[in-house]
Amino acid sequence: MSENAEPTPPTAPPARPVDSTKPSGGGPLDTLNRPLRDLRISVTDRCNFRCTYCMPKEVFGRDYQFLPRAEILTFEEITRLARLFVAHGVRKIRVTGGEPLLRNDLEKLIAMLARVDGLEDLTLTTNGSLLKPRIHALTQAGLQRVTVSLDSLDNDVFKAMNDVDFPVERVLEGIEAAAEAGLAPVKVNMVVKKGVNDDSVLDMALYFRGTGAIVRFIEYMDVGSSNGWRLDDVVPAAEIVKMINAEMPLEPIAPDYRGEVAQRYRYKDGSGEIGVVASVTQPFCGDCTRARLSADGKLYTCLFATKGHDFRALLRAGKTDEEIAAFLRSVWKVRDDRYSELRATATPGLSKVEMSYVGG
């Protein structure tokens, strides 16, 4: 191969074989033999950003009715549910929103969740705007990892994406503070939208290479029913890998566990790794072990679900742990979600749950 020839783009990492000898963590399997492993808990539907692909201002404007306080689960209710979910196989909890750091005293909830027996991984997804001043208390409370959303290093592009004129610098300070607080590797999520921030992909890869942070490039998705999604605006993950590989050669890395969302690649020169999340062009529903709990206690078994299952009603009706556990099992056992695999044939105009309500 002549030295100027473009490096051959690496193929996608091999899928991790299903380890059927591994017990399902004592939990139910769904109709596609998928265990429940990963619970995302939204602690608020509010956010201080208005990212156009998640919470467009036109829909989530000044008059938008967010959940009233009384309807939101208390920390005690969240922790009780978390304990029951862990008893049914959950090993990883991701605290999300909206923007979770808008929830007062979130450190208290982190400390309560960190004490749940059997939980192996406690992480948080944030837009980073409030992270720097809070990271030490969150780490002290037991937070193990953090993912920060950042869609460009270019201030104008970033502002166009978050639609609230928030500067990149403040988010970068949060990422740095998280690494200093010992939460490395910090994951950085970038949603790539064609014609909006795709020119920022290489800059992001270059900036974070060698820092220990891992950028995950996410295909723009038709989440919810309000972001005006078009397939034409999607930059396929394979193209993103090719773009980066042409400048900084990459090689695939095998996934860490079944259900890992991102395809992982490392730089051949050993200076770090990236990930791509290809929900549109290379769906991964077959290994999806995720469930999402909204701030008002509804369980969604898919990011693109159209209905949720009300656990708050059971909690507030004084149901026993066993009664709530039985409901959980009944919900998961009949789960057959695989929206991303069926996207092309999905009914147009489906009223899908909003990502800001269930956390990505």
Residue 80 in the binding site for ligand SF4 (CB under 6 A): no
Q: What are phi and psi for residue 76, nearest 5 degrees?
A: -65, -40
Query: Of 137-145, 165-173, 250-258, 334-342, which segment contacts ligand SF4 by CB under 6 A?
Result: 334-342
- Please give the residues from 290 up to 329 whose contact with ligand SF4 meets the rule CB under 6 A: 290, 302-304
Residue 37 in the binding site for ligand SF4 (CB under 6 A): no
Residue 51 in the binding site for ligand SF4 (CB under 6 A): no
> Beta-carbon neighbour count of residue 100 at 10 Å?
26
Structure tokens at 337: 């979600």
Determine the Cα–Cα distance for residues 214 and 35; give it in Å rounded to an integer: 27
Determine the Cα–Cα distance for residues 282 and 138; give it in Å rounded to an integer: 35
Total of chain residues touching ligand SF4, rule CB under 6 A: 12
Determine the Cα–Cα distance for residues 17 and 92; give it in Å rounded to an integer: 20
Which has the closest alpha carbon to 126: 194, 200, 177, 65? Answer: 177
Determine the Cα–Cα distance for residues 142 and 209; give it in Å rounded to an integer: 27
- Could you say which of 339, 352, 353, 354 contacts ligand SF4 (CB under 6 A)? 339
Question: Minimum CB separation from ligand SF4 for residue 94, in Å?
Answer: 13
Nearer to ligand SF4, 246 or 346 (CB): 346
> Beta-carbon neighbour count of residue 48 at 10 Å?
15
Nearer to ligand SF4, 313 or 346 (CB): 346
DSSP-derived 3-state class of residue 276? strand
Could you tell me which residues come within 8 angstroms of residue 65 by beta carbon, excluding any fewer than 6 positions away?
Answer: none
Residue 337 in the binding site for ligand SF4 (CB under 6 A): yes
Residue 284 in the binding site for ligand SF4 (CB under 6 A): yes
Nearer to ligand SF4, 7 or 286 (CB): 286
Would you give the binding string for ligand SF4 spanning residues 262-281, x where CB under 6 A is met?
Answer: -----------------x--
Structure tokens at 294: 């909204």
- Could you say which of 141, 178, 244, 288 contacts ligand SF4 (CB under 6 A)? 288
Residue 285 in the binding site for ligand SF4 (CB under 6 A): yes
Question: Minimum CB separation from ligand SF4 for residue 98, in Å?
Answer: 18
DSSP-derived 3-state class of residue 326? helix
Task: Provide the binding-site residues for ligand SF4, judged by CB under 6 A.
Answer: 279, 284-285, 288, 290, 302-304, 337-340
